[in-house]
Structure 1
Amino acid sequence: MTLELMADDQSMLQGEQGPAVTAAMKILVAFSNAIGARKLLDIAGAHIDGCLYHGKAGLDFVERLVEGGGRVKVPTTLNVGSFDLIHPGMMKMPPSQEAPARRLMKAHLELGCQATFTCAPYQTRFRPRFGQQIAWGESNAIVFANSVIGARTNRYGDFIDLCCAMTGRAPAWGLHLSENRRGQVLFELVDPDPEPRDALFVGVGLIIGQASGDRIPVISGLPRPRDEDQLKALGAAAATTGAVALFHAGGITPEANTLEEAFHGMAPEEVIRITRADLDDALTRLSSVADGAPLAAVSLGTPHFSHDEWMRLLPLLRKVAPGRGIPIYVNTGRATLTRLQDEGVLAGMEVFGLIPVADTCTYVTAILERLDGVVMTNSGKWAHYAPGNIGVSVAFGDMTDCIRSAAAGHVVRGAR
């Protein structure tokens, strides 16, 4: 199968647009040939996952593009890095790690990328539209773009996402194509809780991620979400426990007004029932401690807290008024943080233990003051990754549970 290249593709490939673009196009062509794509398509934007420093190879790759005069061709947002550039004083990173971590973030800016440094680019002014072709990295962003917005991207990782941004092109393959967006396995919620609790959406995400494999899940019986943040939590959990890049929720997501539409008129390959007991079991396995365990910290905002989530959190903090010195870290995008500061709503909130974190996330870098105690979170993704990444014990609960636990100094769940 021969990859069809347009005149501009050939120009990039033959070195007429600079060495950095040539390198990116060579990689993109090799990748496209490997997956069997027949042509490339134009993209409207990209989101780069490679800002988190994992070693010299990643930094060398980006710096080679910078040295070659590279510039991205489409609006390109950046995922979290290893460093909070806004609050550098909270970082606990030796200089030998700090210097390359900062340099990697800066090098992407030198390529013309936007200084978003968020895992939730859909919360920025660069949010794509329904049907737009994009090339995004970062698992939760990918599943949100495909499922909740109806934009089109595959799961692009380092460094293909950056090559797409450098060329403005992506392989016409996978979820870019309508025929590949058909639902394949049906998940039926049996007697779901009619109250759209946040934990319900996390639990559903955990289950469909584990059970879908490489198939596209369709969910029936899901209560209408309070807001898109609950769908964000569902998608993040599904992309954490599995390879889900697109889910359909009957009557909720834009390509699933009906189940027939979600399945493109075909029958599901499999039907899986999800009971309340299944959800309870999935959520229980997120916690490694029982109620009453002493608490060291709370971490919220994985994926990054939206403005709406902040507006739910701040009144809760004032009402519950934690007073035991338990820090409440909230990971958020710098654009959201700037908006909150402009609105003046964060003034004085440090008295409640509130610690905003921007540009990064507490489960991927050294921020937490204590790693020897229990950290409570409302994020299925954080609860899944943090024990392995930073070695903490985790308790999972709704946002209200987390704040009540901070006030009590120990894990409290189910309080209303």
Structure 2
Amino acid sequence: MTTLTADEQAMLAGDAGPAVAFAMRIVHRLAEGLGAPRLQEITAAHVDGCLYNGQVNLDFATRLVDLGARVAVPTTLNVGSLDLLHPEIHRGLARDTDTTTNARALMAAYRTMGCAPTWTCAPYQLARRPEFGEHVAFAESNAIAFVNSVLGARTDRYGDFIDICAAITARVPYAGLHRDEARRATVVLDCRELPPELFDDTSGWAVLGYLTGSRTTGVPALTGLTAVPTEDDLKAFAATAASAGGVALFHIAGVTPEATEVRGLPVITVSPTDFGGARRALTTVEDAPVDAVSVGTPHFSASEFAALAALVRGRSDPKVPFYVSTSRAVLDQAADDASACAAAGITLITDTCTYVSSIVDPKARVVMTNSGKWAWYAPVNLGVDVVFGTLAECVRTAYEGQPR
């Protein structure tokens, strides 16, 4: 049985209004189902339910709005189904269709509840982000893994509907990765055989994320790495590990803040051969012409814009459509580099991502990316084959027509 405080009992009874009572019933039922002894107060939330997947998404949000719901903690929003700044980029969705209308209404509903219109899958790139030990309620798999692992804040996996209920009540079940005992490593990946040059490009960290997600369960700890990752590297690792295997927390010796003793745990040795196989696995077709290039999954950072701008300055008119997905905040922060990319013929996308929205031409059969997450999801979501490569290889392919 989950014990509630007097304040939480009052919320459940409706003393704070019908919306809080509705949300608290859901949080409490989840806590009971998880066997949580109590609820945990949170200080922030990141909501994924703003992405339109069907009528139920809109019905739930509308119900909350009708009840007068307002978030009780700072709450950011994940990607939506539309780029509200650049609606002309969408294909197959006329602006007056039911799907588009509902997607807009859903995004508006979450703003009505007081959520910040951040529309990003990388909320840790925003000015305010969770601190070490802070309890939060985050949805979006890569954000969960990054916040838990890189920042050392604490969130369990929260999906649609429970995310906004947590934001309204400022409560989650005290269960899962909110607890000390659940955050300890359960398996070791020994990476000492991997030479550091494999990680000269961020795509190498995505490959290692794929290896980690596909070969482990629980909480993996990586040891023996000599390469020092940037935040972009860790973002790529977290996103691919979360996609390929549901990793919500990882430790890297000497890098992440909670990396601790791993003696006595089962060990998996990772070899260069394993690494090469994983890189090849992220490519689904060989020697095929590329129809488009898509990067920025998770959303491009300011430093990634700087790297891309350096590669494309002086270029124009890519041979195939070239897309970069990013957030509004980063687009403002990296305005000069983003403008250089746009001048080189690259399409900049905000508020959404190319693997969840109708942006890539449906006739495209092969798309190149440097994102392990995009490579994992796009074949099913979009029905395309994927060529996986470095950022430089993506640029070369887009402008020179070389797929590898």
TM class by shorter chain equals over 0.9
Q: Which amino acid is the alignment partner of residue 114 of structure 2? A: G
Per the alignment, residue 130 of structure 1 pairs with 132
- Cα separation, 1, equivalents of 2:67 and 2:153: 31
Per the alignment, residue 383 of structure 1 pairs with 375
**2:341 is aligned with 1:352:** no
Per the alignment, residue 297 of structure 1 pairs with 292
- Cα separation, 2, equivalents of 1:317 and 1:283: 25
Q: Which amino acid is the alignment partner of residue 383 of structure 2? A: G
Per the alignment, residue 214 of structure 2 pairs with 210
Match of 1:374 among 362, 366, 370: 366
Q: Which runs of 5+ in 1 are unaligned?
A: none
Q: Which deviations, in whole Å up to 9, do the C-alpha atoms of 1:301-339 show, x marking residues without a partner? A: 0000011111111011116x2544322100101111122
- Cα separation, 1, equivalents of 2:77 and 2:219: 27
**2:217 is aligned with 1:225:** no
- Cα separation, 2, equivalents of 1:255 and 1:39: 24
Alpha-carbon contact 1:325-1:353 (below 8 Å) kept: no
Alpha-carbon contact 1:118-1:359 (below 8 Å) kept: yes
Match of 2:182 among 149, 157, 180: 180
**2:308 is aligned with 1:307:** no
Question: Post-superposition shift, 1:37?
Answer: 0.2
Question: Post-superposition shift, 1:42?
Answer: 1.0
Alpha-carbon contact 1:248-1:255 (below 8 Å) kept: yes
**2:143 is aligned with 1:149:** no
- Cα separation, 2, equivalents of 1:355 and 1:102: 22
Q: 1:348 to 1:312 in 2, by over 3 A?
A: closer
Question: Post-superposition shift, 1:243?
Answer: 1.7
Question: Post-superposition shift, 1:289?
Answer: 2.1
Q: 1:33 to 1:222 in 2, by over 3 A?
A: same
Match of 2:354 among 362, 367, 380: 362
Q: 1:314 to 1:44 in 2, by over 3 A?
A: same
Q: Which amino acid is the alignment partner of residue 126 of structure 1? A: R
Q: 1:267 to 1:301 in 2, by over 3 A?
A: same
Per the alignment, residue 3 of structure 1 pairs with 2
Alpha-carbon contact 1:75-1:126 (below 8 Å) kept: no
Q: Which amino acid is the alignment partner of residue 73 of structure 1? A: A
Secondary structure of 1:207's counterpart equals: helix
Match of 1:330 among 299, 306, 324: 324
Match of 1:267 among 261, 264, 268: 264
Per the alignment, residue 75 of structure 1 pairs with 74
Question: Post-superposition shift, 1:201?
Answer: 1.1
Secondary structure of 1:345's counterpart equals: helix
Q: Which runs of 5+ in 2 are unaligned?
A: none
Alpha-carbon contact 1:371-1:392 (below 8 Å) kept: no
Per the alignment, residue 408 of structure 1 pairs with 400
- Cα separation, 2, equivalents of 1:185 and 1:299: 33
Secondary structure of 1:347's counterpart equals: helix
The 5 A counterparts of 1:47-196 are 47-92=46-91, 93-94=93-94, 95-195=97-197, 196=199
Identical amino acids, percent of aligned pairs: 47
Question: Post-superposition shift, 1:154?
Answer: 0.4
Q: 1:393 to 1:229 in 2, by over 3 A?
A: same
Question: Post-superposition shift, 1:160?
Answer: 1.1
**2:388 is aligned with 1:392:** no
- The CA RMSD over aligned residues, in Å, is 1.4
Per the alignment, residue 317 of structure 1 pairs with 312
Q: 1:346 to 1:304 in 2, by over 3 A?
A: closer
- Cα separation, 2, equivalents of 1:220 and 1:190: 7
- Cα separation, 2, equivalents of 1:371 and 1:394: 14
Alpha-carbon contact 1:135-1:154 (below 8 Å) kept: yes
Q: Which deviations, in whole Å up to 9, do the C-alpha atoms of 1:55-103 show, x marking residues without a partner? A: 1111111110000000000000000010000101111214121000111
Q: Which amino acid is the alignment partner of residue 168 of structure 2? A: M
Deviates more, 1:377-386 or 1:171-180: 171-180
Per the alignment, residue 13 of structure 1 pairs with 12
Per the alignment, residue 254 of structure 2 pairs with 251
Secondary structure of 2:196's counterpart equals: coil
Q: 1:368 to 1:303 in 2, by over 3 A?
A: same
Q: 1:345 to 1:204 in 2, by over 3 A?
A: closer
Q: Which deviations, in whole Å up to 9, do the C-alpha atoms of 1:314-369 show, x marking residues without a partner? A: 011116x254432210010111112233xx33335434221111000000110113
Q: Which deviations, in whole Å up to 9, do the C-alpha atoms of 1:260-300 show, x marking residues without a partner? A: 1xx4xx521x1101111111111111112224x32211100
Per the alignment, residue 282 of structure 1 pairs with 278
The list of structure 1 runs, each at least 4 consecutive aligned residues, that deviate by more than 6 angstroms after superposition, is none
Match of 2:239 among 211, 227, 236: 236
Secondary structure of 1:77's counterpart equals: strand
Q: 1:110 to 1:207 in 2, by over 3 A?
A: same
